[in-house]
Structure 1
Amino acid sequence: MNRAELFAQIQKKSSFLCVGLDPDLAKIPAHLHSEPDPIFSFCKAIIEETADYAVAYKPNIAFFEAMGPKGWETLQKVQEFIPNDIFTIADAKRGDIGNTSKLYAKAFFEQMAFDSVTVAPYMGEDSVTPFLEFEGKWVILLALTSNAGSLDFQLIKDENGKPLYQSVLEKSQGWGSPENLMYVVGATRGELIGEVRKVVPDNFFLVPGVGAQGGSLAEVAKYGMNSSCGLLVNSSRGIIYASGGLDFASAARTEAAKLQAEMRVLLETHL
């Protein structure tokens, strides 16, 4: 999916919602455990009920690969079930020396046909650019994340007072373009989203941290939205675990609809 197609979906649905699929066997409703593939049944129901409101789905690869070979089969089924006009993100956080990255890219882009994959930038250019060689595919580069441990490295300043995350943003601009390079920018960082936007005015951001982690959707839009929206705001637990009962899918739909309604207003305000 290219940038124009993604923006068209945002406009069509008045939404920039990404639903994170983090299916934990210990948390999904008990009645699904009798299904042949409980995780697939759970994800399928979530997708069916939220696809009207979501412009992206983000399976967290760890929740699938922890189940071994069957988990990879389930992941493939989930990816194939997502409607073709919805952006797909393999949340794998890969990044290694060039030939290894190339094979990671082949796995997610060719074997599984995801639109994008999250990539860690710590090993530098030759660990990222192999992912950018695939036409029509996207790298979503970790930049300023929402976890507590992000403070360990991402805000360390160099001798000129520049934090590390800004160096990552600036350096990576020469690797890709706003047509194939997004950035992970956590919602819990508030006004720092605005600082990121100053450095990369045109790129899309994948924004975790809204919902269960306490990030403000209004602040994300205030500091991060650009003329083509430029945001995919992810909610995982707040949607998929809205209920642990028989009504889990309809409860997920209700929560997704609430976020979409707020997003509609923000789009009308900022665009």
Structure 2
Amino acid sequence: MNRKQLFEQIQNKSSFLCVGLDTDLSKIPGHLLKEKDPVFEFNKQIIDATADFAVSYKPNIAFYEALGPKGWESLQKTLEYIPKEIFTIADAKRGDIGNTSSLYAKAFFETMNFDSITVAPYMGVDSVKPFLEFEGKWVILLALTSNEGSKDFQLFSSKEGKPLFQEVLEKSNLWGSPENMMYVVGATRGEKIAEVRKIVPNHFFLVPGVGAQGGSLEEVAKFGMNKDCGLLVNSSRGIIYAGNDRNFAQAAKGEARKLKEEMKVLLERYL
């Protein structure tokens, strides 16, 4: 999927919502455990309930890897079930030496046919470039994350006073373009989103941290939106675990609709 197609989805749905499919067998409603593939059945009902409001789905690969071969099968079935016009993200956080990254890229872009993958930049250009060689696919590079431990390294400053995340942004901006690279920027740091946007004005951001982690959607839009929206705001637990009984999908639909309506207002205000 190219940038134009992604922006058209945002315009058509008046939404920049990404739904994270962090599907945990210990958290899904108990009646689904009787299904042949509980993970896929849960995902299927979540997708059916939220597809009108979401422009992206983001399976967190760890939740599927942990289940072994059955998990990979559930992941592939989920990916094939997602409507073709909706942007897909493999939240895998890969990044290794060049020949290994090439195989990771082949796995997620060719074998499984995801539109994008999250990538860790800290091994440098040769660990990221292989992912950028696939036409129509995207790298989503970790820049400034929302977890508590992010300050251990990402905010560490050089002698010149430049935080490491800024160095990552400036350097990686030379590797890809706004047509094939996005950045992960956490929603819990509103003022930092503004700093990132100054360095990479045209790129899309994947923004975690809204909802369960306390990030403000209003601040994300105020500081992060650009002329093409430039945002995919993710909600995982806040949507998929909004309910825990047989009506879980309807509860998820209600939460997704609520976020979509907020996003519609923000798009009209800032776009």
Q: Give me the TM-score of the superposition, normalised by structure 1.
A: 1.00
Distance in 1 between the 2:192 and 2:68 partners?
A: 38
Distance in 2 between the 1:104 and 1:75 partners?
A: 16
Runs of 4+ in 1 over 6 A off after TM superposition: none
Distance in 2 between the 1:261 and 1:90 partners?
A: 26
Tell me what 1:106 maps to. 106
Kindly tell me the number of residue pairs found equivalent between the two proteins: 271
> Offset at 1:25?
0.2
Amino acid at match of 1:191: E
Distance in 2 between the 1:35 and 1:124 partners?
A: 44
Q: Which runs of 5+ in 2 are unaligned?
A: none
Tell me what 1:153 maps to. 153
Amino acid at match of 1:69: P
> Offset at 1:112?
0.4
Tell me what 2:29 maps to. 29
Amino acid at match of 1:120: A
Tell me what 2:3 maps to. 3
> Offset at 1:218?
0.1
Tell me what 2:94 maps to. 94
> Offset at 1:28?
0.1
Tell me what 1:141 maps to. 141
1:60 aligned onto 2:60:
yes
> Offset at 1:190?
1.2
Distance in 2 between the 1:210 and 1:76 partners?
A: 27
Aligned-residue CA RMSD (Å): 0.3
Tell me what 1:81 maps to. 81
Q: How does 1:201-216 map to 2 (within 5 A)?
A: 201-216=201-216
1:183 partner SS: strand
> Offset at 1:159?
1.2
Tell me what 1:258 maps to. 258
Tell me what 2:121 maps to. 121
> Offset at 1:87?
0.1
Q: Which runs of 5+ in 1 are unaligned?
A: none
Distance in 1 between the 2:262 and 2:125 partners?
A: 38
Amino acid at match of 1:18: C
2:146 partner SS: coil
Once the two structures are superposed, residues 176-225 of structure 1 have per-residue CA deviations (whole angstroms, 9 ceiling, x without a partner) of 00000000000001110000000000000000000000000000000000
Once the two structures are superposed, residues 45-84 of structure 1 have per-residue CA deviations (whole angstroms, 9 ceiling, x without a partner) of 0000000000000000000010001110110000000000
1:91 partner SS: strand
Distance in 2 between the 1:244 and 1:191 partners?
A: 35
Amino acid at match of 1:231: L
1:245 aligned onto 2:245:
yes
Identical residues among aligned pairs (%):
75
Tell me what 2:46 maps to. 46
